[in-house]
Amino acid sequence: MPQPSKKIKPDGIRYWVEDRPPLPLSLMLALQQVAFLGSLMTLPVVLGRAARLGVVDVASLVTLTMIGAGIGVMLQALNRFGIGVGLFAPMHSSSVAFPAALVAVKTGGLGLAFGMMSIAGLVQICASRFITKLRAFFPVEIAGLTVFMLGSGLGLVGLKNFLGIGTEFQCVPSCYIVGFFTLIVIVVLNLWTRGLGRAFSVFIGLIAGQALAYQQGLVPDEAIRNIVNAAPFAIPSIGKFGWSLDWRLVPDFVIVGLALSFNCYGVITIAQRANDSGWKSPDMGGVGRGLLAEGLTNIACSAINGVPQTASGGAVGLAEASGFTSRIVAFVLGGLFIVLAFFPSVAMAWISLSPSVIGAVLIFVASFITIGGLKIMTSRLLDNRKTICLGIAIIAGLGHDTLLVQLDHLPKELDSIFATSLSITVLVAVLLNALFKLGSKKKLSHKIALDHEWPDSVNQLIWHLGHQWSARSEVVARLDHATNELIDVIAGHNLIEGEATVDISVAFDEYGCTLKVCYRGEGFHLPPKRPAPEDLLDNPDAVRDMAGYLIHHLADSVKINTSKNITSVTLHFSD
């Protein structure tokens, strides 16, 4: 396996992974993330209401979930002892777990729901041990597809909130006014201001939008009373709702663990790409460490009675849009989450956020994630197999909300895997990718006759293989150029004895491509240094030396071997 290449700092990032922002700035960045992630803190409320909890107990559930979120973001940033991806990758409450959790609540109360979530966490820990060996089943194009569906799914959730669909403010004009106002403030600050204005565009937009929502009567008076009447300080009741297991529900929560793992894989891919301009493919070792951190987080949430967490693509997208991806901020954010859990009024304030304000924020953040996923997918050459695989998976995912949710008679064991468009998209893509690997060749040999048409034959062969293997167009272009230079040296210097042909064999895997050109005849030397300009005019061998320099420059490694008058030249290209 090749060594990881050095990461390149993206242009739009002010504070990179290991940079240390000043403490006041870190606190403000963490507060912005708290405000954003708080807008997603709906699952504890919905779950608490399903369990018929009172307002105080729902707030307690939210505060315990905040502690779990704080633990999770710090574990992800840790990158020590094999735990954590080492990037800024906060977590939020996961809707993936809601169907199974609801079944557990109805079966044995909240305590059973929290106990069973430990099973999902154990599944994620097990998945983290095997993910590095499954890169062939999670190629770059599926990573891009996962990111795309995360972004589009987040955007659709945002759009529903923006329009007030499913709330008491549906079809209320003031709801649209607040949503458009919030989005305009965020976009203007992000595009046409610099420094702190851009960095805190989402936070400022959220505060301004919520103020307008209150003025327009979109914040219920009861929500304001709950904030005012909340205790100024309270120690969270760890394990308040109990903990138990029911082995009949194990299959449901195994599926939940797998679905959470799919989401974590996609979000960590977003984080890796956001922090490296030279990003080529997911670092599966980092994905494995991230899965381990998330699994441990969910076991901790299970123990303290917090709602399960999963990596937040929105929070990572917000960090990228703001230009601050320092993992140091993650520790400040984690500490802030835990400290704020001792102030119930904060939980009440989160519950009071207007849906249209939440929708505007989600739409803004989702735009970065969705386009990032498209860029990842289109960075690869795609043949018919890959096109069909990705196309069907996208159709299955986009059709989820309009078709699959109308099927009331799905087996309950499938509720979690079909709970989100992301789960079904990744499942379909992985299965089709594995199926289409049948009959797909990873090695190919071809004989090229060195007549006047050999350049066209080489070009067609190389680009056909590039599409079949979903290689990056940049790698295929380098491979094509180097192969042409190499064969031109062989043919131009009459190095072949007998029939004027060369044998080309090409092998491709998830890490790169190796090309071997063999012919009968004497060997030659390809110097890695550029010849002097005057040598190109006076020395007839300088043209070959220039070709050698270009080949060394294009390929990552070059080896020449001659044995029994058979010469082979091997070029390797990392992908």
pLDDT score at 3: 47
CB 112 within 8 A of CB 104: yes
Beta bridge partners of 519: 567
Q: How confident is the model at residue 401 (pLDDT cuts 50, 70, 90)?
A: low
Q: Extract the tokens encoding 119.
A: 């099973």
Sign of CA dihedral 528, 533, 538, 543: positive
- Mean pLDDT of all residues in 431-437: 87
pLDDT for 300 beyond 90: yes
Instruction: State how far the Cα of 403 lies from the Cα of 259, in Å rounded to an integer.
Output: 20
Q: Tell me the torsion sign for CA atoms 534, 536, 542, 548.
A: positive
Please report the pLDDT score of residue 402 as a whole number. 66
pLDDT band, very low/low/confident/very high, at 405 (cuts 50, 70, 90): low
Quote the mean pLDDT of the chain. 85
Measured in degrees and rounded to the nearest 5, phi and psi for residue 100 equal: -70, -40
Contact, 354 vs 219, CB < 8 A?
A: yes
Nearest to 458 by CA among 486, 439, 424: 486
Cβ neighbours of 168 (radius 10 Å) = 10
Over range 346-356, report the average pLDDT.
82
Task: Write down the pLDDT at residue 575.
Answer: 67
pLDDT in tens, 490-523: 888 788 888 888 999 888 776 678 889 999 988 7
136-179 pLDDT, tens digit each: 777 888 888 888 887 888 788 889 889 988 878 888 899 999 99
- Residues forming a β-bridge with 508: 513
- 76-115 pLDDT, tens digit per residue, is 999 999 999 999 999 988 777 777 888 888 888 899 999 9
Mark out the alpha helices in 170-249 (DSSP H runs). Answer: 173-192, 196-199, 201-215, 221-229
Q: What HEC string does 393-420 produce?
A: HHHHHHCCCCCHHHCCCCCHHHCCCCCC
Comparing C-alpha atoms, which of 243, 293, 302 is closest to residue 120?
A: 302
Mean pLDDT, range 377-388, rounded to an integer = 85
| 367 φψ region: left (φ > 0), alpha (ψ -120 to 50), beta (else) | alpha
Q: 244-258: per-residue pLDDT in tens?
A: 998 888 887 887 888
Q: What is the pLDDT of residue 1?
A: 43
H-helix or E-strand spanning residue 572 = strand 566-574
Q: Which of 165-174, 219-228, 301-310 ranks highest by mean pLDDT?
A: 301-310
| Dist. CA 91–CA 68, nearest whole Å | 9
Tokens 């597809």 label which residue? 145
pLDDT value at 230 more than 60: yes
